[in-house]
Amino acid sequence: MLCLPRGKSNRIAICEAVLRRGILSVEEEERVREQMWRLAVGMDGEQRADRFWEELRISGQYRLFHNYETVNRLGYTHQMDTVFVCPRFVLVLELKHIAGEIKYDATRNQLLRSYNGQVQALGDPFNQVSRHEEWLEHFLWEIGIRNLPVLSAVVVTTVSSVLREMPEQFHMFKLEGLRFKLKYWYERMPVKVSDSILDYIRDELLGRYKMVKWLPPVENLKLRRGVLCDCGQQMTYRYGIFTCKCGNRSRDGFLKGLLDYRLLHDEWITNRAFREFFNIEDVDVASKYLQRLKLKYEGEKKARRYYIPENILEIKGRNKIVQ
């Protein structure tokens, strides 16, 4: 059972918002675009892995979580590409989309990639996935499940990559080998928990799910405010319509701005923050916009704040001209 789908990469959407609104130098823009490209490449590998799970046929129940994010008791984040929970074990996977010839340097705890005649040192993926494994073990212990083993593996999703000299104490293999590894573990590990316990674990994991706040590597990021036209210029507001110098007019152009605010600031917005972000001076105008969007809200008067949903762009038509 798929309990948490992967969906569109939130980090790619954040990079797009930064490119729209960020006041960036040429070098900073290049870094953001490179980061977005790396994320897109990684997502291609994740989608290849997801097709494997869609075709998976195993006996018994399981619970599957993609892009699981949480924060530990010390405030540090965990972002796990895939967590697989079955009655016999829990498996956490770190997906790597790496081309070339790959080997592990155990003396220096680094991954070495040889590609196009160059050797590149990468981070230690086993340290990363072992950290997630330890969190899952502690999590299970906290909720009273102490007999379900936790496994971890690094899976390379690139078809053309070649793996060499991998340590025996860690699991690292190509995506094509995941089916055989699962079968191997399934046949050799006994059932430890019931299906009802799987549901209990699912509910506890989802209860601790928390999307990790992330921004691309730009120091002291400054953002352009207002409603931005598709051409990139700032639009002006008059009689309920936003107009651009290029001739474009929009009644709901600020919806993209609300999405940018959600991605770069917060999923909650107050009247004051709305006015500051969109350069609207009139309190009543801002109030009417927020109310007519029929957003979920909490608090009263000046303390009221409105929730910006992920699908904010899909609610066109709720907004009418504000006189």
pLDDT of residue 55: 81
Q: Which pLDDT score is estimated for 323?
A: 32
**315 has pLDDT over 80:** no
Asked whether the whole model's pTM tops 0.85, one would answer: no
Q: What angle do CA 133, 134, 136 make, to 5 degrees?
A: 65
**Among residues 294, 298, 242, 292, which one has the least CA distance to residue 270?**
298
Q: What is the pLDDT of residues 155-165, one digit of tens each?
A: 998 888 898 87
Q: What is the pLDDT of residues 166-218, one digit of tens each?
A: 877 889 899 888 989 999 999 999 999 999 999 999 999 999 998 777 788 78
**Mean pLDDT value of segment 48-71:** 86
pLDDT digits (tens, 9 = 90+) for 208-235: 998 777 788 788 888 888 888 888 888 8
- Mean pLDDT across the chain: 87
CB-count exposure of residue 321 (10 Å: 0-12, 13-18, 19+): exposed
Q: What phi and psi values does residue 64 have, to the nearest 5 degrees?
A: -125, 135
CA distance 141 to 201: 11
* Burial classification of residue 59, based on how many CB atoms lie within 10 Å of its CB (0-12 exposed, 13-18 middle, 19 or more buried): exposed
Predicted confidence (pLDDT) per residue in 2-22, tens digit: 898 887 778 888 899 899 998
pLDDT of residue 322: 36
Which residue has better confidence, 60 or 199? 199
pLDDT at 238 over 80: no
Biggest CA pair distance of the chain: 70
Report residue 206 as tokens.
Answer: 């989802």
Give the lowest-confidence range in 17-26, 262-271, 276-285: 276-285
Burial 229-247 (b: 16+ CB within 10 A, else e): beeeeebebeeeebbbeee
pLDDT > 60? residue 318: no
Closest CA to 224 of 150, 276, 296, 165: 276
Rounded Cα–Cα distance for residues 291 and 306 (Å): 9
The answer on pLDDT for 284 being more than 90 is no
Give, as one character, the DSSP assignment of residue 318.
S
Query: pLDDT tens, 93-111?
Result: 999 888 899 988 888 888 8
Q: What percent of the chain has pLDDT over 70?
A: 97
Contact assessment for residue 13 and residue 263, using Cβ atoms and an 8 Å cutoff: yes
Mean pLDDT of 249-259: 83
Mapped onto helix, strand or coil, the DSSP state of residue 240 is: coil
* Token pair listed for 103: 């080997």
